[in-house]
Amino acid sequence: HAHAALISALPKAELHLHIEGSLEPEMMFRLAERNGISLPYPTVEAVRAAYDFDNLQSFLDLYYAGAGVLQTEQDFYDLTWAYLLRCRDDKVVHTEIFFDPQTHTERGIAFGTVYQGIRRALDDARAQLNISSRLIMSFLRHLSEEDGFVVLEQARPYLAGIDGFGLDSSEVGHPPAKFARLFAACHQLGLPCVAHAGEEGPPAYVWEALDLLKVCRIDHGVRALEDASLVARLVASRMPLTVCPYSNIKLRVFDQLKDHNLRQLLQAGLCATVNSDDPAYFGGYVQENYLGCARELGLSKAEILQLCQNGFEASWLSPEEKAHWQ
Ligand code: HPA
Ligand code: ZN
């Protein structure tokens, strides 16, 4: 492996991780059994074999179905804790994770059940693993803006433990503009906002995320390279892109890892970062994403260091905490 020792030794930040996307098939079976749910697959291998996606939607259909095994606060704790143990193995010292409350409230699970399980695992990781974190509540863009306001209301008792807001799910046909009023309400709470944009959607969606949702990071954003004036704006404002290389291959945004534009993003002067997105579905946690890119794109040592540095720069850590890791 090119630069494998360097990559495993470097402290890393992860900024784009859906906790529901860290549900490994083994845990899916364990939770299904614990909760008396029958899965439509006979074995763990059969589940893995189904992870052969054509695009974002074909993944989302399985991702939302898989989340059905998550029922109790302990389930959300176990899910989050398993991911945090992987962080420790990958030397991820800081992680900013998304959760999709509507995936669970829509099937009758209380907001507090979801939140408390995740929160308790994050707090335990701070104390026991020395991993810091932020928690980002993400709205599902295939649902209405009104639905978003409903879940924001459900979040109110827990806002002290929520660090920001995001926007995910089916991108094309659900532009950021659909959520302009909802994000204005989020900003009124004094919390930062991010949005998935430019994954499958056009550069225009990245412009909208910036101008209408006033985001401080773009999740994915790889299609920004199609628009030179957008690149200039992103570079000038040092707007981070949370890039997810393995995700982009599994969801066919690029054919193969060697075709990924991560290196061009860096060469354009963008603050690109490396993240895993939904590692249980896409076949690699953060370290594997770095290793794969180093190998297939021929990243230099300087580029690897830059990507790790960008992760901390783009994080919501305090300036003092950033200085510690950079
Ligand atoms: N894109 C949009 N929605 C998602 C993703 C993604 O990569 N992962 C989980 N929900
Ligand atoms: Zn994502």
Confidence at residue 2, expressed as pLDDT on a 0 to 100 scale: 84
Burial 70-89 (b: 16+ CB within 10 A, else e): bbebebbbbbbbbbbebbee
pLDDT on residue 60: 97
Kindly report, residue by residue over 246-285, the tens digit of the pLDDT. 999 999 999 999 999 999 999 999 999 999 999 999 999 9
Distance CA 114, CA 150 (A): 16
Domain CATH for 174? 3.20.20.140
What is the span of the domain harbouring residue 152?
Answer: 4-325
Residues of the chain with pLDDT under 70: none
Ligand 1: which of 17, 19, 60 to mutate, judged by most atoms within 8 Å of the beta carbon? 60
To the question of whether residue 18 is assigned a binding role by annotation, the answer is yes
The response to whether 277 counts as a known ligand-binding position is: yes
Strands 164-168 and 12-18: unpaired
* pLDDT of 47: 96
Q: What pLDDT is stored for residue 326 in this prediction?
A: 85
Q: Which residue lies with its CA nearest to atom 10 of ligand 1? A: 169
220 Cα nearest atom in ligand 1: 7
- Count up the domains in the chain and report the number: 1
Q: How far apart are CA 60 and CA 1, in angstroms?
A: 32
pLDDT score at 62 = 97
Name residue 240's beta-bridge partners.
271
Q: How far is the CA of 253 from the centre of ligand 1 (A)?
A: 13
Question: Which of the following is catalytic: 96, 171, 199, 200?
Answer: 199
Q: How many Å is the maximal CA-CA distance in the chain?
A: 54
Q: Does 227 show up as a binding residue in the annotation?
A: no
How much distance in Å is there from the Cα of 169 to the middle of ligand 1? 5
Q: Contact, 25 vs 65, CB < 8 A?
A: no
Tell me which DSSP letter residue 317 carries. Answer: -
User: Active-site residue 199, yes or no?
Assistant: yes
Binding pocket residue ranges, ligand 1, CB within 6 Å: 18, 21, 56, 63, 168-169, 196, 199, 247, 277-278
Please report, as a single letter, which amino acid is at residue 200.
Answer: E
